[in-house]
Structure 1
Amino acid sequence: MPAPDLSVALGRLRLANPILVASGTFGYAREFAPLVDLSTLGGVVPKTVTPLPRIGNPPPRTVETPAGMLNSIGLDNDGVEHFCAHHLPYLSGLGTAVIANVAGKSPDEFAVMAAQVEQAGGADAIELNVSCPNVSGGVDYGRTPQGAAAVVSAVRAACGLPILAKLTPNVTDVPSVARAAADAGADAVTLVNTFTGLAVNWRTRRPVLGNGIGGLSGPAIKPLALRVVYQVAQAVDVPIVGCGGIRTVDDVLEFLVCGASAVQVGTANFADPTVSGRLVTELAAALEQEGLGSVNELVGTLGPPKTQQAAGTPAAPTKA
């Protein structure tokens, strides 16, 4: 029996396999090169870049939680020009897809950065960070369908690369925002960014993080992220990249059956820097064990609860 086909398509973006690493958890890939064969990954999403350098939020910037972590980094980076000059040349030689992640305070800023990245060469796609909970400005565009559509439309007009819109879960109706992003030209949507949370020191009567509120990630958010992926999969026709608490191959498979075509490994990289490379191998083995010839055979195959199935409910809800 031939080895399972792990290749997936995110619209116009083709990946050798569905295992990506999430922005902000993998640096600019150099940091992980001694530990992971980066060429085996489906793709790398380097740290978010902004139009100008940012020093980020005051420390402490991270705090461990019982089932994950809170962070309030604040998009600390050296700016898009430095990224294009110093990081893209390295990233483009890794032998895997490079998805540059950008964040701006207006649709025009997003568009200008995307055009700069495309012109510099070396990136295979752009991920739009309209969902970071730790800065003011950019996240606002992911809170409404109109805002998300405005950013995607501006970038689509300025840049020919495939576009992924990374959306926030901190809204009432994520599917409506995802539909708007897809209708505006996004090739795929990334679900989800972190959930807002708070850690406090009751003795000092102060928040633990220097910025107060932070973004919760890790195993604690996986059930929530799975729910969002499943709901959005019924509402849009574009591919979904799932993320939130992925540590094991079973986590990967759960996101796939809920409707994700690919996944991003994030917080798990801090606990085990080799996890992303291992998941590629384990995914192939799991598919072979199940007798599946392609990873795409699993995508979106989640059926209804047994009680509903027994009552004659259709195997899966139709898309809105």
Structure 2
Amino acid sequence: MDNFEKKMQQELKEETPLSVEARIAFDNAYTVIATKNKQKKFGFYQPVFMKYALAVIVLLLLFTVTPIGSATINYFFTDIFTNHTLEEQGFVTKQSSATVNKDITIQLAEVYADDNELGLHFIIDFPKDSPLKQKTIKNYALNFALQKNGKVLLDKGTNLSQQSLNGTLTDTQYYDQKKQQLHINYRYQAKNMIHDLRNAKVVVTKIIGYYAKNDAPGYHELKEGEDFTTLTGSWELPITASKIADFKTLHYVLPDINETVQATVSPTTLTITLPKNSVILTESDYKNIYVTPLNQQVATKYPVENIRKVTQAGDEYTQLSFAYHDYDQATQFILSVGEKEYVFYKV
């Protein structure tokens, strides 16, 4: 990785976007969509006579900033992918697999997949006396693998293979107090994603609950019982692939520029590939990059999610990726790079 790419990645890290749901709650008229799950903690200590005002403030914060509030807005994938074509043709598929092991029920509720990303939505029901229902637990994780015809395609911390993750895995989660259910959404992004899920299943091998900690900066080793609690088991969840529709990748061009620029759109991702030393991207203006589809009266801005160097046919390119959910709704979109704008047209 050269200095240019390192600098780009550092700038992106310094400006981590809020979650999709939080930005929608902040400004539904000018939405900025991002995908990184950002945990935030708030503590308030007020006199008793302020308790009613405090309750209102806390509720507002829950519904605009915190992971719990954001999940209340939309923790189902169907609430995120609202593009008309994706809704009508069923990009997000409702699944019905559920398995009980050690008195815990895990359900695979939703699945989506395209060339860039796989999404899995789990719902977990704990028994009343489960140690995983302690109020001191603030975050959860699952160890699971995706298998197809006996072969492991994706492995997150199980002993089912020796594989490591080759892409980026992010999660959002929400505990539904009314139904006493835990929802965990995982998004896995990787090159050449296998989206043919016929005969595939998800195998969960462990549930982990992390206790709330006021950790000091720096590295420290997590200890079971002190920092987290776990439950090991086996929950096999077959995927009903017949419900999953195939969505083609769309192509866009940038005319009137003396270089080859490629742009593709899948249901989850907009990717722009620029040649090395492109006039579009310089070190002075890569900090503020986003795309805007030209199909709405309300402008929706999608900030760049990832910038990386790639090699194609021996040539080096810079690739920009955006968590773009408009899919086929726009025949044009604008790429904004600093003060510059470029209009792409659908082929």
Q: Structure 2-normalised TM-score?
A: 0.24
Q: Which has the larger radius of gyration?
A: 2
Between structures 1 and 2, the one with greater helix share: 1
Q: RCO higher in 1 or 2 (8 Å CA, sep ≥ 6)?
A: 1
